[in-house]
Structure formats: C-alpha cells, structure tokens
Structure 1
C-alpha cells in the first residue's frame, strides 16, 4: 500500500500536463507547489484552485528550469513554505526541433538543454531535499517517444526523453535500499500545448482524460507506467522490437 503524498511540487505547471495534474491533485485535496516561467498563468491557476478547493495550500513561484541555480533556490523555498515536500514531478519540457542538418540546431539545442540538462538539475534539487528528509517520491515525465529513435522534429525530443528515462532508472538503482521512491511516466498522445498544432494523431486523448490517467498512475508509485495504459503499454513493446520503418507507421 502506497503512502499518501500530501505536498506535491510540479514543474512546468502553467500549462499542459503540469496544469492538468495540478487540477487533479487539487481536486484530491493535496497541497501544491507550482512553478513555471509564466507567473501570470500560475497566479490565475492558483486563484481558481483556491476558490474551488479552499482547504488546500497552494504556493507558486517563477522558475526557468534552464537557470540551474534558480531550480535549487525555488525547490528549497517551496520546502520552507510547506515544511516537507512529499512528491516532486519533473514535468517541464519542450518539443521544438527539426531534422538534424537542416539549419535548426538552435531549436534542437534548446530542447536538449530543457528536457535533459534542466531535468538533471531538477532531479538533483529534488533528491537533495528527499535525502535530507529520508523520504519522498521522485517522478519524471518521459514519453513513449523514448522507446525508439524518431524522425524529423521528434529526433532530438525522443533522444532527450530516452536519456531522461535512463537517468531516472539510474537514480532508482542508487536508491533501491532507501525509503525514497522513483517512478518514470511514459505518456502517449495527450493533448497539450506542446502538441496543440498537431491536427491528426492516432490515439490522442484530451488533456483532462490524460492527466487523470497520469495522476492515477503516479499515485500507485510504480517503477514505470505507460499512460493511458491502452494502447500505449502494448505499443511501447511493439516499438522496441519492430523494424524502424514499421514504427513510423504506428505513430
């Protein structure tokens, strides 16, 4: 039986999956520490959730995850606000990019820095807190794209998510004999700001449905979870073993 995590920190909480998870956790009566670059959206979300759920505590702070010193400062400040942080969800990310060699190195670099290097900083800051508390649950938001190399705009994105998954598994290996839990989430196609311009995608679910499934999976504190489970648990297995040409036809 898993422990109820009352105080939850979510990065990238001003939109998309981060905002959706915040809404779900507020509905469940959890206290929230929410951070993102766009503080106007965070402030609006805080006001909305406090009105709907007046018994919970919500703290918001500006955070650019590529400012690594600021990551540590903000996480520590949230710990001061809440006393303890029970779960940290490393969610901030982006999907900019293009085929390599086509003049978009700047976009691919920004995605690599945000999705992997900045995630490393968030994991470091989270584990600094959890090691001191000797308790906590670290959750990283990867992607089913991490299963294989992807073409065009997803090439760098998929690589960063694969790197994040390996990083998370390494952290879990390092903490196997500790009370600190570590989980990797592999979302499939959930409608969010990162894919808002994608018109026709198979198996896409709306933000609310996807985030509800995501939070339900996180609450179980598994080693890993594919979300929604159908069809992505099966699809992920197929993606690992099918010829690369066939993988592209699945997605």
Structure 2
C-alpha cells in the first residue's frame, strides 16, 4: 500500500473526497490547496476520526510554481518519503473562444496544464531520488475529443494532461516509478454542478470510491467510473466528426 500520499486541490471536491477515503485506509496524507482554513478543518476532522495517521497541510496555489517545489519538498522531508502524488488541482473554463474572456481561459489553461507540469516536475524529482513512487494525473473523459463552447479550453487542457501522462509513462517504463492517467466522467463537484444535462453523472461519494479504487490499481489509464465511461470513450474516439458535431 502507498502509505504517504500527497494530494493537491485537497480542500474541496474530488481532492477532499480522496483524502477522506485514503485516511480511512490508514494512509498518511499531505494535503495542499489555496484555502488554508478549509485545509485546517479537514486536517482536524481526519486526525480526530483516524488518530493513528498523520495529516500534514500546507496552503498552495499551484500557479505559484516555485511554491509547488517548496511545498512538495517540505512534505517529503517531514514524512521521509512520498509514495504517491495526485495532481488533482484544477478549474473549469467558462467561456467559448472569442467571447472576450481570454483571461479566464488563460487561467484555466495555466491551472490545469502549466501548473500540472510544475507538479509533475517536483514529484518526479523526488521519485527519481527515491527510485520509487506513483504519480497520478487527473485528466478527464472530455480530453478524448475536442469540445465546443465553454468546454473547449477545459477539454484541451485535459487532453494535454493525458498526453503528458503517457509521455511520463514512456520515460519511466521499466523503473519502479508508476504513472497513471485517470479520466473521470461527470462526477458531481463544483466544477460541473451547473453543467446542464451532464450524461451519466454520479454523486460525489460514488465517484470518489471509483476513483480511489482505480488509482490504487495503478493502471496506466483508467476511465472512472469504469461503466459507462470506458465504452463511451471508444465511441467518442470513433464517432465521425460530422456526427460528433451534431451530438456534442
């Protein structure tokens, strides 16, 4: 079992849910997010419910790239090692290209992809020194194809994260370092709460259970929940452009 787990974006949504799930399994947690107050509340809850584990928290804006390296290294030094790093922090995009919202779309691109590179850089430095570790990148089913409108930039960032994960898998092949690309479907969080007609959406608890199960298996790629998103992903990839344009 991966004992010492670092999660970014851990104060809400999937990050918070995964922290609770791994705490229940007896894992030590290194949790970071922008909200120090929410992290402190989560730390107190987990330490009360699971007194045999260690829960460390540090505020972190993943777009402060120097801080990413400082926080990851500090966690590693406090625990002695990091066994798994979950690159989870991310935001949604809210506007189509050309609608005067470049700053918002740029922020989504920087948070979801450029900041993911910084997190991977820091995690891989530590894992290479340890000669062990499990790097988890949170992509999305929306990264399988390009999406229109407000999802355009978000889907593009998630496709980039998926490509980054596959490249790192090639880099670490044959080593004790594992890299997983996790591609969730619609799990109810603040990012997609307002998405109308979200297909096959599951509640947060169901989604988190499926996520933790998939991550613990340490496969190269996992669609979450497996059903129906694994077969749906193949349909999306194979769908002719004209049909895809009419239906999505």
Structure 2: where are the runs of 5+ without partners?
Answer: none
| Further displaced range: 91-100 or 226-235 | 91-100
Q: 1:103 aligns with which of 100, 104, 110?
A: 100
- Pairing 1:153–2:150 present: yes
2-structure distance, mates of 1:245, 1:69: 44
| Further displaced range: 126-135 or 46-55 | 46-55
Distance 1:29-1:247 versus aligned 2 partners, 3 A rule: farther
- Pairing 1:210–2:207 present: yes
Aligned residue for 2:82?
85
- Pairing 1:48–2:45 present: yes
Instruction: Please list, as runs of the form range in 1=range in 2, the aligned pairs for 1:6-21 lying within 5 A after superposition.
Output: 6-21=3-18
Aligned residue for 1:36?
33
Structure 1: where are the runs of 5+ without partners?
Answer: none
Aligned residue for 1:129?
126
Aligned residue for 1:230?
227
Q: Note the alpha carbon deviations across 1:66-105, whole angstroms, 9 max, x for none.
A: 0000000000000011110000000000112311111111
State the TM-score, normalizing by the size of structure 2: 0.97
Distance 1:15-1:250 versus aligned 2 partners, 3 A rule: farther
**Aligned-partner SS, 1:186:** strand
State the TM-score, normalizing by the size of structure 1: 0.96
Alignment coverage as a number of residue pairs: 248
Q: For residue 249 of structure 1, report the CA deviation from its aligned partner.
A: 6.4
2-structure distance, mates of 1:244, 1:11: 35
Q: For residue 136 of structure 1, report the CA deviation from its aligned partner.
A: 0.2
Aligned residue for 2:171?
174
Q: 2:218 aligns with which of 209, 221, 229?
A: 221
**Aligned-partner SS, 2:191:** helix
Q: For residue 31 of structure 1, report the CA deviation from its aligned partner.
A: 0.3
Distance 1:202-1:59 versus aligned 2 partners, 3 A rule: same
- Pairing 1:140–2:137 present: yes
2-structure distance, mates of 1:152, 1:54: 47
**Aligned-partner SS, 2:62:** coil
Q: Note the alpha carbon deviations across 1:164-202, whole angstroms, 9 max, x for none.
A: 111111011011021100000000000012112235322
